[in-house]
Amino acid sequence: MLKYLLSRLLQGVVCIIGASVIIFVASRVSGDVTLLLLPPDATPEQQRIMRHELGLDKPYVVQYLLFAGRAVRGDFGKSYRWQTSALKLVLDRFPATIQLAVCALVFSVVVALFFGVLSAVYQGSWFDSFGKVFALLGQAMPGFWVGLMFILFFAVKLGLLPAFGRGGLKHLILPAVTLGWYSVAAQTRMVRSAMLDVLDSDYIQTARGVGVPRWILIWKYALRNAAIPLVTMLGVYFAAMLGGSFIIETIFAWPGVGRTVVEAIFARDYPVVQAGVLFTSIFFVLSNLLVDLAYGFIDPRIRYVR
């Protein structure tokens, strides 16, 4: 187990270094940031001074090594636009994105389990059809449109929920549902398909035969095995929600890191882009590792040995 952990962590470090190189190169080749930071009538001398102040007149390799050397000490430099620590800017906003992504994931998993299990149990019924349609709607409709429609209906029309911003539970409902709905379809199909296989298996038939109550049979014995494929994919879905949060954060004025990093990309605010992408990479690597470990917990047959 320890060997497995160390091996996965080492892979994660290589992945993060790779991500840092890619994002560094991509941001540098995107163009001259001084054109965006200075007014249009700034002189070439001002541009030269700014490039020097920001260290952008050094060779790319030198710039990367300086950046990497500072990054391992947690120093990603100052945001060109916000004039504040780039890492702090990202970290201050990260909890909001994590909160949104976790709630979206919980929503999608709960709904997927509900529809997936019952669709399998009542295969071919109206409920099965309804579940499929509900899930597909989430996948078919673009997230930004769904979010706006939710705002117009639940906030403006009904006045039940706030239209924007971060606050208590009420503020979380619309953005979390909007973000999570997209992956409900795939998760529901996965759970339904796995449940159908499991419900036909011998041990379930045996349990049924010895009189185990139906709902315990389904929700305790069958679901545990049917959930394995879903758990495997949770890391991927979570990463997708983290990455796709930018649109939802913009629609709902949610002060998350997705919006911060995307806006930094447009503004060529390199320190914020680098801090945001690297931190997200680290988070993604660790969350995938946790998912793999959870996999072993759900299915004890899985062993992390050579």
Partner 1 sequence: MGRLAVYLTRLGAVVLGLFLLTSFMNAEVNAAPKVSGELIIGFGAESNVLDVTKAAAGVDWYYDQQFYEMLIQADPKLERKNWLAESWTLGQEGGNPVIDVKLRKGVKLHNGDTCVAKDWVYCYERMKDPKISKWSHYQAAVDRLEVIDDYHFKIHFKKPDATYIPGGLRLYGISKAYFDKVGDDGVQNHPVGTGPWKFVSRNIKEDLKLEAFDQYWNKTQRPGVKNLTIKVIPEDMTRVAAFKTGEIDWIDAVPPAMITDVKAMKGVQTVSLLSGNNLFLQFNTHMPNSPFKDVRVRLAAAYAIDMDGIIKSVLFGQGERYASVGKGTLGYDPKLKPYEYNPEKAKKLLVQAGYPNGFDIPFYNLITPREPNIKEYGEAVAAYLTAAGIRCKIEGLEYAPWIAMGARQDPPDMDGIVSWMWGHGVVGDPGSPWAGYLHCYKEGTGWGSYSYWCDPEFDKLLEQSQDTMDPVKREVLLKKIGRLKFEKVAGGLDTYRPLVTFAWRTDKVTYTPWPGAYYRELREIGLKKK
- Bridge partner list, 78: 85
Site string for partner 1, 35-54 (x = CB under 8 A): xxxxxxxxxxxx--xx--x-
81 binds partner 1 (CB under 8 A): yes
Q: Rank residues 49 and 233 by Cβ distance to partner 1 and give the closer one.
A: 49
Report the C-alpha gap between 34 and 32 in whole angstroms.
6
Q: How far apart are CB 265 and partner 1 at their closest, in Å?
A: 9
How many of the chain's residues bind partner 1 (CB under 8 A)? 46
* Contact call for residue 93 and partner 1 (CB under 8 A): yes
Q: What are phi and psi of 212, to 5 degrees?
A: -65, 135
**CA 210, CA 262: separation in Å to the nearest integer?**
57
Segment 134-163, which members bind partner 1 (CB under 8 A)? 148, 151-152, 155-156, 159, 162-163
> Is 280 among the residues that bind partner 1 (CB under 8 A)?
no
216 binds partner 1 (CB under 8 A): no
Binding mask 285-304 for partner 1 (x = CB under 8 A): --------------------
- 74, with CB counted inside 10 A (0-12, 13-18, 19+), is exposed
Stretch that binds partner 1, among 8-16, 84-92, 183-191, 200-208 (CB under 8 A): 84-92
Is the dihedral angle over the CA atoms 159, 142, 242, 133 positive or is it negative? positive
Q: Are 12 and 289 in contact (CB under 8 A)?
A: yes
| By the rule CB under 8 A, 229 interacts with partner 1 | no
Q: Which helix (H) or strand (E) holds 19?
A: helix 2-29
- Tell me if residue 209 falls in helix, strand or coil: helix
192 is a contact residue toward partner 1 (CB under 8 A): no
